[in-house]
Structure 1
Amino acid sequence: MLSSRLPDEWVVARRREIGDNIRDARRDRNLSQEAVALAAGIERPTLVRIEAAQASARIDTLIRIAAVLDVELSVLVRKR
């Protein structure tokens, strides 16, 4: 059973996986960070921070990014 407070390392590792999944999907489609951010209605620095695991992403933001990349949300949040 998970404790009520997850270790910070675990959370950071999952954010890194999600960021890597976003970056991989973006690169597979030959899209720039600027193009994805613009189409998703977010600022480029926000996308940079999400891909680098330096910031948490709201579910709404992940849904928008998934739509722009034409992938299911599950692709972006899958474990590696």
Structure 2
Amino acid sequence: MPERVIARRRRVGQRIRTAREMANLTQERLAELVDVDRRTIVNVELGYTSPRLDTLLMIADAVRTPLSELVREGAGE
């Protein structure tokens, strides 16, 4: 996997973590809302794995953040 893809996956994971924390959700609670294992949330936030699109959509809904904000690319990214 190219390093640029791994780096982008980490940035998306960090945005998910930030949004989760802003929504006052634990990893456990987010996992329950999205119907996945807590370890899945951990791996996504750390950038170890990429979530499936349906999981990503449910995460965005749970943290009340537009999907576009979670996956956006900005200047210098």
TM-score (norm 1): 0.86
Report whether the alignment pairs 1:43 with 2:37.
yes
Report whether the alignment pairs 1:11 with 2:1.
no
Compute the RMSD of aligned alpha carbons.
1.2
Aligned-partner Cα distance in 1 for 2:36–2:72: 22
Paired AA for residue 40 in structure 1: V
Q: Deviation digits for residues 2-53 of structure 1, max 9, x if unmatched?
A: xxxxx61011011001000000001111110000110011111001000000
Provide structure 1 residue ranges, at least 5 long, that are not aligned to the other structure.
Answer: 1-6
Q: Which has the larger radius of gyration?
A: 1
Runs (4+) of structure 1 exceeding 2 A deviation are none
Paired AA for residue 11 in structure 1: V
Contact kept, 8 Å, 1:17 with 1:79, in 2: the verdict is no
Aligned-partner Cα distance in 1 for 2:31–2:8: 21
Residues matched between the structures, number = 74
Identity %: 43
Aligned-partner Cα distance in 1 for 2:21–2:73: 19
Provide structure 2 residue ranges, at least 5 long, that are not aligned to the other structure.
Answer: none
Aligned-partner Cα distance in 1 for 2:66–2:57: 8
Among residues 52, 55, 61, which one is paired with 1:58 in the alignment? 52
